[in-house]
Amino acid sequence: MDQTSMRKEDAIFRDLSTICTSPGYVHALAYLCFRDSVVGYSDEMRAEDMEHLFSMEHLIRTEMSTLVGLLVQQEIDWSLPDAKTIQHYIEETERLLNELHESMSEPTIMELRNAFQSGKMANPFEKGSNLREPIFYGGESAYSFQFRDLSVPKYRSDNPWLEKQKGFTIQCARDVVHALACIIREDTAEGVLGDMRSPKALLAA
């Protein structure tokens, strides 16, 4: 993207927030979670089956968490949009996330470019603003079960605000996530995929 036409982060984030609270967006988000979290294979898993988890199009956990966080800013609209609308949501989400990534990278790139042109090389990571992009897009720091269980002691001091504003404690949130993980493990992939292939079964549910 041309540096002169690059939008500011707050403008991109507003657009991302708007689409995340669009009617039925939750279904597009569910697809993205499924696409970028589930590994399909037959007989025996091979390295090729996992390749999509490392593609440039794959959304990382912090991006997914951002989408979920924006989704729940308003009451979730569970209406099911048509296929064309869901496809638009998916493509626009990916476009905005890519634009956000470029916008976050711009300060570091510009500083390196200016330093190179002036001949005065400096460490760009001495500035906190230049650390935001590598921190947000860095690799996973823990396994999912560690995030789940360590969230309780980490956010315990936020319980008064959570109870007053949202009506639950961090322990409640952790227990719900744990229960959902157990349900997902108990359901067979064949059964879930079978339901997904049957529109009538989904509508009946």
pLDDT digits (tens, 9 = 90+) for 101-128: 999 888 788 777 777 777 777 777 777 7
Distance CA 198, CA 41 (A): 20
Taking only the tens place, the pLDDT of each residue in 122-146 is 777 777 777 888 888 877 777 777 8
Q: Name the residue with tokens 């996330």.
A: 97
Beta-strand runs (E) in the chain: none
Q: Phi, psi (5° rounding) for residue 160? A: -55, -45
CB 102 within 8 A of CB 7: no
Centre a 10 Å sphere on the Cβ of residue 71 and count the other Cβ atoms it contains. 19
- The pLDDT assigned to 186 comes to 61
Tokens of 16: 């991302």
Distances (CA, A) of 163 to 68, 167, 172, 173, 178: 20, 4, 10, 11, 20
Is the full-model pTM beyond 0.75?
no
**Type of residue found at 153:** P
- Give the Cα separation of 81 and 78 in Å (integer): 9
Residue 2 confidence class, pLDDT cut points 50, 70, 90: low
Q: Report domain extents, the chain.
A: 1-141, 142-205
Q: Output the pLDDT for position 125.
A: 72
Q: Is the pLDDT confidence value at 4 over 60? A: no
Q: What is the pLDDT of residue 203?
A: 44
Residue-level pLDDT at 195: 60
Q: What average pLDDT does the segment 26-42 reach?
A: 84
Q: Tell me what pLDDT residue 201 has.
A: 45
pLDDT in tens, 71-89: 999 999 999 999 999 999 9
Over residues 29-55, mean pLDDT: 77
Q: Among 110-114, 145-149, 157-161, which stretch is predicted with the lowest mean pLDDT? A: 110-114
Q: Are 20 and 67 in contact (CB under 8 A)?
A: yes
Q: Cβ distance 152 to 171 under 8 Å?
A: yes
The confidence band for 187, taking pLDDT boundaries of 50, 70 and 90, is: low
Mean pLDDT taken over the chain: 82
Mean per-residue pLDDT for 92-104?
A: 94
